[in-house]
Chain A
Amino acid sequence: MQVPAPFEYERATSVEHAIALRTQLGEEARFIAGGHSLLPMMKLRLANPEYLIDINDLDELFYITRADDEIRIGAMTRHRELLDSDLLAEHFPIFRDAEKVIADPVVRNRGTLGGSLCQADPSEDLSAVCTTLDASCVIKSTDGERIVSMQDFHVGPYETAVGDTEMLTEIRIPLKAGGGSAYEKVERRAGDWAVVSSGVAVWMSNGTIDDGRVGLAAVGPNTTSIGPVAEALRGAAPSEEFYEQVGEIAAANCSPQTDQRGTAAYKTHLAKELTRRSLRRAVARAQGQEA
């Protein structure tokens, strides 16, 4: 079977230790979290790090907590914990929607939020979720920490803003009143990557959408949050016609490619249909109409 090329292995005992190792070992080192993105790449010899720094012992990075006006999630939080978290489900049901259809239950036992975001696969679901929720990423280094928005976090396909001496440690999601969110995905088979998926978050008051965002996966080089959709959502009153319109805006603003998962025409259609569905459900949830 396929096996990785040789490397040296270090197990980090704290975030500081991990960053120190990374700084010392330089660009040939990679962090390994759940390993479910990195190890397959290494087996194919598409990734050949000289050092792996295991961060699975960093208990300080496993958490989902509420802090005043935001939810904070440690980068090592595993998919399974995101799926099971009632706190997340209460504030951001989009997480549970998405986690139900990410990979499979066994992979979800190991794969992590930070690992998923750092893989920066354009078809990856949690990137779309975090983009939808306007999350920001806490990136630490020996110089301290910086906070980067999801838009800036993903530099390109498989490329992130995390530098060679840095570490993604936390994802922060702003809590705002009147929120509702939902996620819809079409896949060829359970556990497959998305043909297309669409996440929607809205924040409403008095029956009107004050603010809203859409994140689409697998429709372009990066998980896309579509500006024109956000504009259309702002100040709108929800209706079936309106959901349809927003779906059309989403479809008009993505650039999928034909591959084995589907034709570009089908993916464009899905961008519309799934955005319409997510929006409908997000609005319902914001209005307390659906769990």
Chain B
Amino acid sequence: MQVTMTINGQEVSEEIEPRLLLVHFIRDQLGLTGTHWGCDTSNCGTCVVLIDGEPVKSCTQLAAMASGHDITTVEGLEVDGELDPVQEGFMQCHGLQCGFCTPGMMLTARALLNADPDPSEEVIREAISGQICRCTGYSTIVRSIQWAADHETDVSVGSAS
């Protein structure tokens, strides 16, 4: 079947098998390997992408279901050579180690900040609670997102508007 969707602002149209998971469509068919997968059961969140601005676990969506929608992956966070404040925050505050969960974490952070520019620590922890990081113990991820909140620019990738 044919699917057509917008990925990081670019329209793509591809022939796929109906059962193709969105994460595989993004990684294997489009070659955007920044989106990872880490479990099969929607528990780990390494595969999070934004669909119409909302974080979604792309291992638990069919590419077919995403047809007609607007997808943002980690590759779409940097705009015209400008890093998203979330990306900068993760570097500044050591919010990543192996970097495997990082794309999903950053996309959830971006969606959070779009909805709530000044989230409390509690709100941040809740927002990322569907995503597992084995390296950082989360504190530095929380700090990274706080850093981004303190350094927001007019960048607003993936916002629904």
Contacts and interface: CB of A to CB of B under 8 A. Distances in A.
Asked if A and B form a direct contact in the complex, defined as CB atoms under 8 angstroms apart, the reply is yes
Contact of A106 (B19, B40, B55): B55
A39 B60 contact: yes
The interface centre, meaning the residue of B65, B127, B129 with most chain A CB atoms within 10 A of its CB, is B65
A32 B60 CA distance: 11
A110 B61 contact: yes
Given A9-B18, A9-B64, A40-B42, A105 B59 contact: no
Contacts of A52: 18, 62
A46 interface: no
A100 B3 CA distance: 34
A35 to B, nearest CB: 6
A85 interface: no
The interface centre, meaning the residue of A5, A6, A52, A106 with most chain B CB atoms within 10 A of its CB, is A106
B130 A106 contact: yes
B40 A40 contact: yes
A97 to B, nearest CB: 15
B1 A9 contact: yes
B146 interface: no
A260 interface: no
Given A35-B62, A36-B60, A191-B130, A43 B18 contact: no
Main secondary structure of the interface of A (DSSP, over half): loop
A106 B48 contact: yes
Nearest to A104: B130
B41 interface: yes
Q: How large is the interface on B (under 10, 10 to 19, 20 to 34, 35 or more residues)?
A: 20 to 34
Contacts of B131: 104, 106
B13 to A, nearest CB: 16
Interface string A44-67: 100000001010100000000000
B161 to A, nearest CB: 17
Q: How large is the interface on A (under 10, 10 to 19, 20 to 34, 35 or more residues)?
A: 20 to 34
B60 A191 contact: no
B40 A35 contact: no
B130 A2 contact: no
A3 interface: yes
Contact of B108 (A1, A36, A80, A106): A106
B42 A36 contact: yes
A109 B42 contact: no
B37 A190 contact: no
A103 interface: yes
A8 B17 CA distance: 9
A159 to B, nearest CB: 22
A162 interface: no
Contact of A107 (B18, B57, B62, B126): B57
B45 interface: yes
Nearest to B130: A104
B62 A39 contact: yes
B5 interface: no
B17 A103 contact: no
B32 interface: no
B10 interface: no
Nearest to B39: A1
Nearest to B19: A4
A109 B40 contact: no
A7 interface: yes
A104 B64 CA distance: 24
Contacts of A1: 37, 40, 59
B21 interface: yes
Interface in A1-44: 1-9, 11, 32, 35-36, 39-40, 43-44
A80 B160 CA distance: 15
5 contacts: A1-B37, A7-B18, A9-B62, A43-B40, A191-B129
Given A4-B21, A6-B18, A109-B54, 20 more contacts: A1-B59, A3-B19, A6-B19, A9-B1, A9-B64, A35-B62, A35-B65, A36-B42, A40-B41, A54-B65, A56-B65, A104-B131, A105-B127, A105-B129, A106-B56, A109-B56, A190-B129, A191-B43, A191-B129, A191-B130
The list of the 8 closest CB pairs from A to B, nearest first, reads A104-B130, A9-B18, A2-B40, A106-B130, A109-B54, A9-B64, A4-B19, A106-B55
